Amino acid sequence: MDRSRLEAFSDGVFAVAITLLALNLAVAGPGPGHPWLLKQLSTHWPAFLAYLISFFTIGIIWVNHHALIKTVKTVDRTLLFLNLVLLLFVVLIPFGTATVADYLAAGDEGSRKLAMVLYGAIFFGMSAGFTGMFEWTLHGDRVYQPVPPGRRWAARIRFASGGAVYLVAIIVALFSPVAAFVIIGLVALYYIVERTPSSPAAPDERPE
């Protein structure tokens, strides 16, 4: 399969997932009293924060996915299924976001913890899928400029570090859902400000 087809299909999934996030941003209709809307907005803070975290997380994965795929020489069956694993969890992010928005502020303690565990687990699965794709690039003659053998473990640690933090957030969620929420948000913030070195592109994509 041409890698442009893989990228086009993935871009469509990313676009749908990131659009579905906005469907969770809703408040009740007009109510009694002047500050009704302000009260509704203030009580829906988990929905707005979860939207921002999920939006930027999907956006970050989309950017990194593009950077990774453009280095690939040929697409094989293994890469296609690894990509599907990544997309499996990407399309679950709107569901996890809506669940956190519903339960973090108003649910009972057990439901709040479970909602955050689910949210963290989805992000962990997404990170694991992307790490699997990166691991695929380290073997054989699959990319235009492979990572040197001496730097592969450092690269693995860098790619897997996000997943490790999500795993920590899942454990923390069993004790403090809000603290876990903050941890997941900090991961997104880190990858927004962190500058990833550009990967070598395919020959036909390099500037003249």
Q: 163 and 89 in contact (C-beta within 8 Å)?
A: no
Each domain of the chain, given as residue ranges in start order, spans 3-24+33-205
Predicted confidence at residue 192, as pLDDT, reads 80
Is the overall model pTM greater than 0.85, yes or no?
A: no
By CB neighbour count within 10 A (0-12 exposed, 13-18 middle, 19+ buried), where does 69 fall? buried
- Among residues 43, 61, 50, which one has the least CA distance to residue 126? 61
- Among residues 57, 44, 43, 50, which one has the least CA distance to residue 14? 57
Is the backbone of residue 104 left (phi > 0), alpha (psi -120 to 50) or beta? alpha
pLDDT, tens only, 77-113: 999 999 999 999 999 999 999 899 888 877 688 889 9
Predicted confidence at residue 128, as pLDDT, reads 93
Around Cβ 16, how many Cβ atoms within 10 Å?
A: 12
Residue 83 token pair: 């990509």
